[in-house]
Amino acid sequence: MTLLSVRDLTVTLMTGSGPADAVRNLSFDIERGQILGIAGESGSGKTMTALSIMGLLPYKGKASGSINFDGEELVGFKPKDFRRVRGKDVAMIFQDPMTSLHPMLTIETQLTEHLRHHRKVSRAEARARALELLDTVKIPDPETALKAHPSQFSGGMRQRIAIAMALACQPKLLIADEPTTALDVTVQAGILKLLDELRKSQNLSVIVITHDLGVLSALTDRLMIMYAGAEVESGPTSQVLTRPRHPYTQGLIDALPDSEAHGKRLIAIEGMPPELGKFPSGCAFHTRCSFARNECKSGTPNKVDIDGTRRIFCTVDPFDTPAGVNR
Amino acid sequence: MKPVPAKVSVFRKILRGTGFFPFIVKRVLTSILLIFGMTFIAFSITQLVPGDPVAANLGQSAYSDPEIVAAFEKEFGLDQPVPVQYLRYIQKLSQGNLGISLSSKRPVNEDLKEYFPATLEIALVAVVIAMILGLLLGTISAITRDRLPDQIIRVVSLTGVSMPTFWTALVFFYVFFFLLGWSPGTGRLDPGAEPPPQVTGMFTIDALINGDFATFRQAFSYLLLPAIVLAIYALGVLTRFTRASVLEILGNDYVRTARAKGLPEFTVIRRHVLRPALLAIITVAGVAFASLMAGSVLVENVFSWPGLGQYAYRAAVGLDLPGIMGVSMVVATVYITMNLIVDILYRVIDPQLRKAEQ
């Protein structure tokens, strides 16, 4: 069953030189209990997509198109309506657990304040739920942890607490914006495993936003690759990563350091991702694409459906061979 | 099962408080050293000022009589070398004796007991007004950033900071006393009215202690206008500072987290923004309060308020060394005490500081 259905989402931000579209005509769906990965370089519009679902777009930011969440249309929602949904049905965890928790408030306050607000439970009930949550995210000695402040925990533990906070009201959708980027590699695996367990035990839908394809390959069911605010490729994670069809996806995968390529020079994508407000016309990637032709420079790239589960936005579609990419 | 951990936690709180005591003891000891250091500086400065206290305090004819001059110098110890004068002063000071004022010819202790509470009273009311309004206006200004309320508040607070206090004092006095008649006028009470029996020296509080509400109302009505004038400058500073702190805190990730929880905006501001912002604001408020006390000279003169400012003015003009020293002592003590209170408040607001000390 579809929980979230985004159609033609465009996010316009106010920049120093006037309004600019940070997200352009984005469409995607998430089923219940599914994990969707959104990947792309910095500035590709991943976070703005998430913030528009949360109603937390920056000052003077505007979303248009349609975001249907569990039967409700979120585009055009008033701040008051967003406050009703936010924290209760849609929750979000942020990149840096060192700064996303309030340094002066106890863990108990931070775990229970929205629970008490949304669910109108008593202090004792909220406390019991907080203990349960800390146990779920595997914080040792939850009783002591409740009285502690964030500074007494390591980065990985803080991210677990942030996840516990997000889960307090049993949301239907969890958005994790770069949940492991600020953490040690050894801690990353634990957080990813936790997210996967939660998805299974609570039938939680999750959007994981990252630029780390390794994180996504381990965790997500489906994957969407974004470039300059628009989708370039999407499909089941394993297919997208093993047989990418869009030149940009191929470039991202080539740029991954892996054991097979040990000793070889990494292949970086030429050039820099475009800045907000300076996205190239046509297929935005044409300035860096080795397959680019004249027709890529204007109009919109062709949408190519593959096997009914995948699609790419590429007029050239250079890897359209039965064996996929010829390595 | 529940009450037991509750008792344990109260006990632990007291234990936790022990981290406080060494801190406070250390701070009080250094404060005493600071005050002694201050006496040295204040004493040196009064000696460096060109001017003869004898000439300033004796009349023309008395000054021309060498015998009277010698007697005056002997009485106030001015015939001794300066280092001896200082050591004598310190010796008396350690017994709590601030000496005899050259101008009022009364013990400085007595003078301060009379003048200091009057100033403390308007300064306290002023700082309360400035704190409440400053926090409120500064926060509104930050939340409505670049919109109309913010624009208005910014202009008004800038005006408050820019207006010289003596000018505001005169304008307010003209408008609220002369034109509107809302203020009863100058002084602390109606002419001929009996002040309440002295406990704190602050008429409003003494009247309340005495259960005399009529006197309280009267004292308060006299107090309000000078307090507001005194508050205006501090209000401008506090509003601007609150706006800046709140804007800075609003940009923090943890505020976004609080918003992501769907909390009401009021809760987000009060719990997640103002609490950390207060840390910076009380530092400024502490200094503002101390400078209100020191800077009340002009306001007190306009409103004929018999406070420390007027006393300091007279002592300075009369080169009244014990008087000047006494006022310096009081102001220094107020500054140091305010800093101590601010440091303690820090630990109340931010539990991490307390934990760091254990």
Amino acid identity of A276? L
Indicate whether A262 pLDDT > 80. Answer: no
Tell me which DSSP letter residue B19 carries.
T
Interface of A with B in 225-264 (CB under 8 A): none
Q: Which residue has the higher pLDDT, A7 or B60?
A: A7
Residues 6 or more apart whose Cβ sits within 8 Å of residue B30: none
Indicate whether B268 pLDDT > 60. Answer: yes
Q: What is the pLDDT of residue B14?
A: 43
> Do residues A167 and A128 touch, judged by C-beta distance below 8 A?
no
Q: Which long-range contacts (CB under 8 A, 24 or more apart) does B168-171 make?
A: B168/B229, B168/B232, B168/B233, B169/B226, B169/B229, B169/B298, B169/B299, B169/B302, B169/B303, B170/B302
What percent of chain A has pLDDT above 70? 95
Average pLDDT over residues B80-104: 84
Edge-to-edge strand order for the sheet containing A2-15?
A18-31, A2-15, A62-69, A72-73
What percent of chain A has pLDDT above 90? 43
Interface of B with A in 257-296 (CB under 8 A): 257-265, 267, 271-272, 275-276
Beta bridge pairs of residue A225:
A39, A233
Query: How far is Cα A124 from Cα A107, in angstroms, rounded to an integer?
Result: 15
B169 part of a folded domain? yes
Average pLDDT over residues B83-96: 85
Indicate whether A26 pLDDT > 90. Answer: yes
Q: What is the pLDDT of residue B217?
A: 87
User: Which residue range forms the structural domain that includes residue B204?
Assistant: 108-357
Beta bridge pairs of residue A62:
A12
Domain identity same for B161 and B204: yes
Indicate whether A10 pLDDT > 90. Answer: yes
Q: What is the CATH number of the domain that holds B245?
A: 1.10.3720.10
Contacts of B262 in chain A (CB under 8 A): 82-88, 114, 117-118
Query: How far is Cα A276 from Cα A21, in angstroms, rounded to an integer?
Result: 7
Beta bridge pairs of residue A86:
A90
What percent of chain B has pLDDT above 70? 92
Tell me which DSSP letter residue B219 carries.
H
Domain identity same for B75 and B178: no
Q: Which residue has the higher pLDDT, A20 or B195?
A: A20
Pairing assessment for the beta strands A2-15 and A62-69 based on DSSP bridges: antiparallel
Edge-to-edge strand order for the sheet containing A310-313?
A90-93, A173-177, A205-210, A35-39, A222-227, A230-236, A310-313, A303-306
Query: How far is Cα A166 from Cα B280, in angstroms, rounded to an integer?
Result: 30
Contacts of A83 in chain B (CB under 8 A): 262-265
Which among B322, B127, B334 has a CA at the least distance from the CA of B228?
Answer: B127
Q: Does B67 touch chain A (CB under 8 A)?
A: no
Indicate whether A269 pLDDT > 50. Answer: yes
Q: What is the pLDDT of residue B249?
A: 92
Q: What is the pLDDT of residue A85?
A: 92
Domain identity same for B171 and B278: yes
Contact at CB, A94 and B276, closer than 8 angstroms: no
Q: Does A149 touch chain B (CB under 8 A)?
A: yes
Mean pLDDT over each residue of chain B, to the nearest integer: 83
Average pLDDT over residues A127-147: 91
Q: What is the pLDDT of residue A236?
A: 93
Which among A182, A208, A183, A186 has a CA at the least distance from the CA of A196?
Answer: A208
Domain locations along chain A: 2-89+172-186+200-313
Strand (E) or helix (H) holding B60: helix B60-63
Indicate whether B195 pLDDT > 90. Answer: no
> Do residues A12 and A62 touch, judged by C-beta distance below 8 A?
yes
Fold type of domain A2-89+172-186+200-313:
Rossmann fold (3.40.50)
**The pTM is what?**
0.78
Q: What is the pLDDT of residue B356?
A: 62
Query: How far is Cα A230 from Cα B16, in angstroms, rounded to an integer?
Result: 55
| pLDDT tens digits, B200-250 | 888 888 888 888 888 888 888 888 888 998 888 888 889 999 999 999 999
* pLDDT level of residue A260 (50, 70, 90 thresholds): low
Indicate whether B274 pLDDT > 60. Answer: yes
Query: How far is Cα B25 from Cα B105, in angstroms, rounded to an integer?
Result: 37
Both structure tokens of B285: 């408020």
Indicate whether A90 pLDDT > 90. Answer: yes
Contacts of B256 in chain A (CB under 8 A): 56, 94, 100
> Do residues B138 and B238 touch, judged by C-beta distance below 8 A?
yes
Query: How far is Cα B262 from Cα B265, in angstroms, rounded to an integer?
Result: 8
| pLDDT tens digits, B199-211 | 888 888 888 888 8
Instruction: Tell me the nearest-neighbour CA distance from A101 into chain B, angstroms.
Output: 5
Q: What is the pLDDT of residue B8?
A: 53
Q: What is the pLDDT of residue B91?
A: 86
Contact at CB, B267 and A165, closer than 8 angstroms: no
| pLDDT tens digits, B39-56 | 888 888 877 877 777 777
B232 part of a folded domain? yes
Contact at CB, A114 and B262, closer than 8 angstroms: yes
Among the candidates B94, B117, B137, a domain finishes at B94
Of A86, A101, A147, the CB nearest to B254: A101
What is the gyration radius of the CA atoms in chain A, in angstroms?
A: 21
Among the candidates B51, B67, B94, a domain finishes at B94
Q: What is the pLDDT of residue B9?
A: 57
> Do residues A281 and A297 touch, judged by C-beta distance below 8 A?
yes
Among the candidates B70, B94, B118, a domain finishes at B94
Query: How far is Cα A280 from Cα A278, in angstroms, rounded to an integer?
Result: 6
Q: Does A185 touch chain B (CB under 8 A)?
A: no
B101 part of a folded domain? no
Domain identity same for B220 and B249: yes
Indicate whether A168 pLDDT > 50. Answer: yes
B99 part of a folded domain? no
Domain identity same for B44 and B113: no
Query: How far is Cα A150 from Cα A161, in angstroms, rounded to an integer?
Result: 9
Q: What is the pLDDT of residue A264?
A: 65
Domain identity same for B156 and B61: no
What percent of chain B has pLDDT above 90? 14
Both structure tokens of B16: 């936790």
Q: Which residue has the higher pLDDT, B296 or A37?
A: A37
Domain identity same for B304 and B205: yes
Q: Count structural domains, chain B.
A: 2
Q: Is B100 helix (H, G, I), strand (E, B) or coil?
A: strand
- Which residue in chain B is spatially nearest to A115 when comparing CA positions? B261
B100 part of a folded domain? no
Q: What is the pLDDT of residue B54?
A: 76
* pLDDT level of residue B176 (50, 70, 90 thresholds): confident
Q: Does B105 touch chain A (CB under 8 A)?
A: no
Q: What is the pLDDT of residue A259?
A: 55
Phi/psi of residue B106, each to 5°?
-115, 160
Average pLDDT over residues B180-192: 80
Both structure tokens of A52: 């528009």
Indicate whether B2 pLDDT > 50. Answer: no
Q: What is the pLDDT of residue B46?
A: 79
Neighbours of B124 (CB within 10 A): 18
Query: How far is Cα A212 from Cα A255, in angstroms, rounded to an integer?
Result: 11
Identify the residue whose tokens are 């009267």: B218
- Which residue in chain A is spatially nearest to B278 when comparing CA positions? A104
Domain identity same for B177 and B34: no
Indicate whether B15 pLDDT > 50. Answer: no
Max Cα–Cα distance, chain A, nearest Å: 67
| pLDDT tens digits, A178-210 | 888 877 888 888 888 888 888 888 889 999 998
Neighbours of A88 (CB within 10 A): 20
Q: What is the 3-state secondary structure (H, E, C) of chain A?
A: CEEEEEEEEEEEEEECCEEEEEEEEEEEEEECCCEEEEECCCCCCHHHHHHHHHCCCCCCCEEEEEEEECCEECCCCCHHHHHHHECCCEEEECCCHHHHCCCCCCHHHHHHHHHHHHHCCCHHHHHHHHHHHHHHCCCCCHHHHHHCCHHHCCHHHHHHHHHHHHHCCCCCEEEEECCCCCCCHHHHHHHHHHHHHHHHHHCCEEEEEECCHHHHHHHCCEEEEEECCEEEEEEEHHHHHHCCCCHHHHHHHHCCCCCCCCCCCCCCCCCCCCCCCCCCCCCHHHHCCCCCCHHHHCCCCCEEEECCCEEEECCCCCCCCCCCCCC
| pLDDT tens digits, B300-346 | 888 888 888 888 888 888 888 888 888 888 888 888 888 888 888 88
Instruction: Mean pLDDT check: name the lowest of A39-43, A291-295, B291-295.
Output: B291-295
Tell me which DSSP letter residue B180 carries.
S
Domain identity same for B256 and B299: yes
What is the gyration radius of the CA atoms in chain B, in angstroms?
A: 25
Domain identity same for B230 and B346: yes
Q: What is the pLDDT of residue A92?
A: 93
- Which residue in chain A is spatially nearest to B352 when comparing CA positions? A104
Number of helical (H) and strand (E) elements in chain B, helices listed first: 18, 0
Domain identity same for B115 and B25: no
Beta bridge pairs of residue A10:
A64
Indicate whether B135 pLDDT > 90. Answer: yes
Domain identity same for B160 and B82: no
